[in-house]
Amino acid sequence: MSLRPLIAICGTTGVGKSKLAIELALALSQRYSGARIINADAMQVYAGMDIITNKVPHEEQCGVDHLLMGFKSPGEQYVVGQWVKDAMRLINETHQRNQIPIVVGGTSYWIQHLVFPGRLGVFDETTSEVPATPSTNSKMSENLIRAISALPQELHTLYDNLPEQPPLASEDPDAASTLHRLLTQLDPIVAQRWHWKDTRKVMRSLKIIKESGKLSSEIILEQSETEPPPRYRTLFLWLYARPEKLDPRLDARVDVMLEQGLLREVDELIREAAAAKQVDEARFATSSDYYNSAPIDYTLGMYQSIGYREFSSYLIEYQNLSPSLEDKPFATAVERMKLSTRQYARKQVKWIRNKLLPAVYAANLNSNQGENQPREIVSAYLLDATELGEQWSSEVEQPALEITRRFLQGSTLPVPITLSSTAKEMLTIAQKPINPEAILEARRRIVCHTCTTDESKPVMIEQGKEWEAHARTKRHRTAVARAKKQLTGPPGDK
Ligand SMILES: [Zn+2]
């Protein structure tokens, strides 16, 4: 059966993704039975807070369905696995209506996991979700059986009774380091990847081992042998604007958001968090079931958004909802939000180049092997949205419509790097190491024995740049000098 089509519009904030999606959807309604837009922005899934989340106002949606938008409450956690499930259901429904699904959003890793199944990585740092077991047999691996039977009693008991929530290293360092010790005994390769204080990641790895019955290293080897094909025949449209033009646009957008009432939304979020906290406390004061009913986590959901982070502490301290830029702390918060927004945009581009494009290219390599038809299952185009105004139509809208038309007809598509010099530059990537050994070797943490004072709570530093930086710190050099002295003794002392 041939794969059904999907259009995915990705790119940073402020490049016009929503605008292009609506333009495409309207154009498709003339030729096909229309299109539906499925939101892939992790913040726009939340209800209300339209300014912070930058949702398309209803009147600008032009009657096009916008799905998975504004349906979660601000403190609710909504993770990639749930989104993928919801998106798949809606895409299926859209296809059944003979319409075209258009997935739009800046959360590229959601889109990536939607199009490329089974790649919710063992080392994925963006989620605390446990990936579904990729294996076909559910038997426990020999290596794991051996490792478990070699566990000391204390760790064995811990493995059998893993806590629901990971302990916080700041509150219970002993529990945190014991958890890491358990992972080291079971799966030293993945344990080297996480700092013992990073209990969320340590816990996730332990859960993966427990639920899959395999070591992380075994899962990686297995995944590399059985790369699943993409779920949809996908056309990626990457809207890109050069940083020197995008940055001022992003800055200006922050100013507009403030004018529109960003502070009121932040204030509302603070109040909701405070009210919910009181309810939680009252509930748990009378409940013996504290650990089974996890309170809403106000470090998650909307509370992670850019804007909330920068202005919540300002508002809590000064309680001024209409400050001017003369107000120093306020001006500082504004600058911080502008900086965060620019940094976030950089991160989004990095993700597309370092993760999404390699997956796109790999999928086509795999699908073309030994087949007669070299047609690509997944294509990625960059559309240059650096210039707005008149150029939008010629650089973005028209090429997007033309590529989409050909894509849906199944006719020959243009070569992506021929579209523009920017496309050529940004779509060309250095091949990343994708062999399993390289994945396992990368980004290990090493223990600095010189700086470690308590072996159960070691000082762990990532190899490479971080380690080099550590070796230059005063703390480390002092410790090295002290260790040398102890070794050789004071001068003259023979
Ligand atoms: Zn050191």
How many beta carbons lie within 10 A of that of residue 427, not counting itself? 22
pLDDT for residue 197: 93
Q: What is the CA radius of gyration of the chain?
A: 26
**Taking a C-beta distance cutoff of 8 angstroms, is the pair 264, 311 a contact?**
no
CB proximity list for 443: less than 8 A, separation 6 or greater: 193, 462, 463, 464
Expressed in angstroms and rounded, the spacing between residue 481 Cα and the centre of ligand 1 is 11
* Token pair 């992003």 in the structure block, residue: 250
Question: Alpha helices, DSSP H only, in 32-152?
Answer: 50-53, 80-96, 108-115, 142-149
Distance in Å, CA 458 to ligand 1 centroid: 10
For residue 161, which amino acid is it? N
Q: By residue range, what is the domain housing residue 464?
A: 445-494
Residues 422 and 273 in one domain: no
Q: Which of 408, 437, 466 is the last residue of a domain?
A: 437
Dist. CA 470 → ligand 1 center (Å): 6
Together in a domain, 323 and 457: no
pLDDT band at 370 (very low <50, low <70, confident <90, very high): very low
What's the one-letter identity of residue 406?
R
Sign of CA dihedral 46, 51, 52, 54: positive
Ligand 1 midpoint to CA 462 (Å): 12
Instruction: State the pLDDT confidence band at 99, using cuts at 50, 70 and 90.
Output: very high
User: How many angstroms does the Cα of residue 187 sit away from the middle of ligand 1?
Assistant: 25
Structural element, H or E, at residue 212: helix 199-212
Distance from the alpha carbon of residue 437 to the mean position of ligand 1, in angstroms: 28
469: CA distance to ligand 1 center in Å?
10
Query: Same domain, yes or no, for 241 and 350?
Result: yes
Distance 460 CA to ligand 1 centre (A): 9
Query: For residues 467 and 460, what is the distance between their CA atoms, to the nearest angstrom?
Result: 9
The total domain count for the chain is 4
Same domain? 239 vs 362? yes
Residue 258 has pLDDT above 90, yes or no: yes
Ligand 1 centre distance from Cα of residue 473 (Å): 8
What gap in Å lies between CA 492 and CA 228, rounded to an integer?
A: 69
Show Cβ contacts of residue 37 under 8 Å, excluding neighbours closer than 6 positions.
Answer: 21, 22, 25, 64, 65, 66, 67, 102, 103, 104
Q: Give distance in angstroms: CA of 484 to centre of ligand 1.
A: 13
Query: What mean pLDDT do residues 338-342 have?
Result: 95
What confidence category does residue 288 fall into, taking pLDDT thresholds of 50, 70 and 90? very low
> How far is it between the farthest Cα atoms of the chain?
93
Q: Find the 459 Cα to ligand 1 centroid distance in Å.
A: 7
Q: Residue 442 C-alpha to ligand 1 middle, in angstroms?
A: 21
End-of-domain residue from the set 342, 362, 394: 342
From the CB of residue 215, how many other CB atoms can be counted at a distance below 10 Å? 22
Cα–Cα–Cα angle for 455, 458, 459, rounded to 5 degrees = 145
Same domain membership, residue 109 and residue 16: yes
109 located within any domain: yes
Examine residue 130 and state whether it is found in any structural domain, yes or no: no
pLDDT tens string 411-454? 889 999 999 999 999 999 876 545 666 667 777 888 898 899 88
> Residue 194: inside a domain, yes or no?
yes
Same domain, 92 and 222: no
CATH number at residue 105: 3.40.50.300
| 169 C-alpha to ligand 1 centroid (Å) | 20
What is the pLDDT, as a whole number, of residue 358?
Answer: 85
Q: How far is the CA of 452 from the centre of ligand 1 (A)?
A: 7
Mean residue pLDDT across the chain = 85
Distance from residue 172's CA to the centre of ligand 1 (Å): 23
pLDDT for position 282? 62
Residue 106 lies inside a defined structural domain of this protein: yes
Q: Tell me, yes or no, whether 238 and 383 share the same domain.
A: yes
In a domain, residue 251? The reply is: no
Q: What are the structure tokens assigned to 369, written together? A: 């092997």
> How many angstroms is it from 189 CA to the middle of ligand 1?
22
Q: How far is the CA of 448 from the centre of ligand 1 (A)?
A: 5
Residue 132 located in a structural domain: no
Measured in Å, residue 40 CA sits from the centre of ligand 1 at: 42
Six token digits for residue 75: 């403190």
Mean pLDDT value across residues 335-347:
94
Residue of higher predicted confidence among 158 and 133:
158
Say how many Å lie between the CA of residue 456 and the centre of ligand 1. Answer: 16
CB 244 within 8 A of CB 343: no
Inside any domain, residue 282: yes
Residue 201 sits in a domain of what CATH number?
A: 1.10.20
- C-alpha 217 – ligand 1 centre gap (Å): 28
Q: Are residues 337 and 364 in the same domain?
A: no
Domain assignment present for 133? no
Residue 102: pLDDT over 90: yes
Query: In angstroms, what is the span from residue 238 Cα to ligand 1's centroid?
Result: 43
251 pLDDT higher than 90: yes
Do 31 and 113 lie in one domain? The reply is yes
For residue 153, how far is its CA from the centre of ligand 1 (angstroms)?
A: 32
Owner of token pair 């930058």:
54
What separation in Å is there between the alpha carbon of 225 and the centre of ligand 1? 39
Is residue 361 located within the same domain as residue 372? yes
Q: How far is the CA of 110 from the centre of ligand 1 (A)?
A: 38
Residues 152 and 165 in one domain: yes
Cα 465 to middle of ligand 1, angstroms: 14
What burial class does residue 365 get, using C-beta atoms within 10 Å of its C-beta: 0-12 exposed, 13-18 middle, 19+ buried? exposed
The values of phi and psi at residue 239, to 5°, are -85, 125
How far is ligand 1, taken at its centre, from the CA of residue 451, in Å?
4
Give yes or no for residue 233 having a pLDDT over 80: yes
Ligand 1 centre from 202 Cα, in Å?
A: 23
What is the CA(479)–ligand 1 centre distance, in A? 7
Q: In what order do the strands lie in the sheet with 5-11?
A: 66-67, 35-39, 100-104, 5-11, 233-240, 378-384
- Domain identity same for 14 and 90: yes
Q: Which of 475, 414, 425, 422 is closest to 450 using CA atoms? A: 475
Distance 122 CA to ligand 1 centre (A): 29
The position carrying tokens 């001024």 is 320
